[in-house]
A = this chain, B = another copy of it.
Amino acid sequence: MLEDKNQQRTSLEALGEFGLIDHLTQNFKLKQPSSLVGVGDDAAVMDYKGQKTVVSTDMLVEGVHFDLSYMPLKHLGYKSVMVNLSDIYAMNAIATQVTVSLAVSNRFPLEALEEFYEGVALACELYKVDLVGGDTTSSNKGLIISVTAIGAADENDIVYRKGSKPNDLLVVTGDVGGAYLGLQVLEREKEVFKVNPNSQPDLEPYSYIVERQLKPESRKDMVELLQKLEVKPTAMIDISDGLSSEILHLCKQSEVGCNLFEDKIPLDPTVISTCEEFKMDSTMVALSGGEDYELLFTIDQADFPKIKANPNLTVIGHMTQQSEGVHLITRAETKIPITAQGWNSFNE
């Protein structure tokens, strides 16, 4: 599907582990005031000056979380950072540093890793985080990425998954379901390509959802917006595994129930049209799709006037007593229990 642009190929053996890390990270400069020492010693050193420190980590595995036949390495580097920053923003904190570790088989030339780090660098630049560490080693098969993100926040600003109260409003940023559908389009094109390697896919009609899959953004802007609007969510989580699974996490940890209104779920027009094309139910896609990296949070009803005018924030339901359970209220006004349909990487 993708043209091989690696005209030049430098083998990883030639550089070795030390040379490789030095080479890949040489252009990363520390910009955060909290970053004192980055790559190059036994550990990085940070100073959060009395703020609380927030840490999250995620692993991405080739063939499980991504497919290099349609995922450009630069995008993959960008997305690996986004996935982790998203967890920091979901704490209502601001991300400040990342460490990026790779296990990579010898089939990757140096130039491929350079592309990956270009994506890491772009993410660091746009989201103002510093790369302060990592490890590079060989794998027997494929590429495995492990990112740890660190952020800082004042104690009073941190928002957990617990804290929702009955009658709180359930709010989602942006729209959902796009990343999952983008993956379906890319998988379909991959099958077409297998049959006819000369086919040129026309992804233009799907550009929004394909970008949601290949180059997602995390919602730092929404954390900043909420601060500007003077709204502190009562609970928050990011949408990595699908709306239904995240709602269940909030409900379980906050010990509340929830009514989610089907007609309120924000869907991009491309999601609706592609669902029709794929004969998929758009609500199911939104509930179970995953990888949208939007924020899902609850607010006190008193805060509703502050957010109601904002096109990025959609009220999609409200919390209830725990005994009332977790339900989807359909367009036909029937009440369907929500169960976790989230993605489980151990099911193949």
Contacts and interface: CB of A to CB of B under 8 A. Distances in A.
Contacts of A46: 52-55
Interface string A307-348: 000000000000000000000000000000000101111111
Contact of A50 (B50, B139, B144, B344): B50
Contacts of A155: 47
Contact of A53 (B40, B48, B160, B347): B48
Nearest to A134: B57
Interface centre among A46, A88, A90, A144, by most chain B C-beta atoms within 10 angstroms, is A144
Interface string A131-155: 0111101111110101011110001
A220 to B, nearest CB: 14
A137 B133 CA distance: 22
Nearest to A133: B57
Contact of A91 (B20, B41, B56): B41
A68 interface: no
A43 B99 contact: no
A106 B348 contact: yes
Contact of A101 (B15, B17, B58): B58
Nearest to A106: B346
A50 to B, nearest CB: 6
Contact of A55 (B44, B65, B141): B44
Specify how many copies of this chain sit in the oligomer.
2
B43 A91 contact: yes
A342 B347 CA distance: 40
A18 to B, nearest CB: 8
B133 A64 contact: no
A223 interface: no
B43 A87 contact: yes
A130 to B, nearest CB: 11
12 contacts: A12-B346, A16-B344, A17-B343, A17-B344, A42-B88, A42-B90, A44-B55, A45-B55, A57-B133, A59-B144, A61-B144, A64-B137
Interface of A: 12-13, 15-18, 20, 36-37, 40-50, 52-59, 61-65, 87-88, 90-91, 93, 97, 99, 101-103, 106, 132-135, 137-142, 144, 146, 148-151, 155, 158, 160-161, 236-238, 253, 340, 342-348
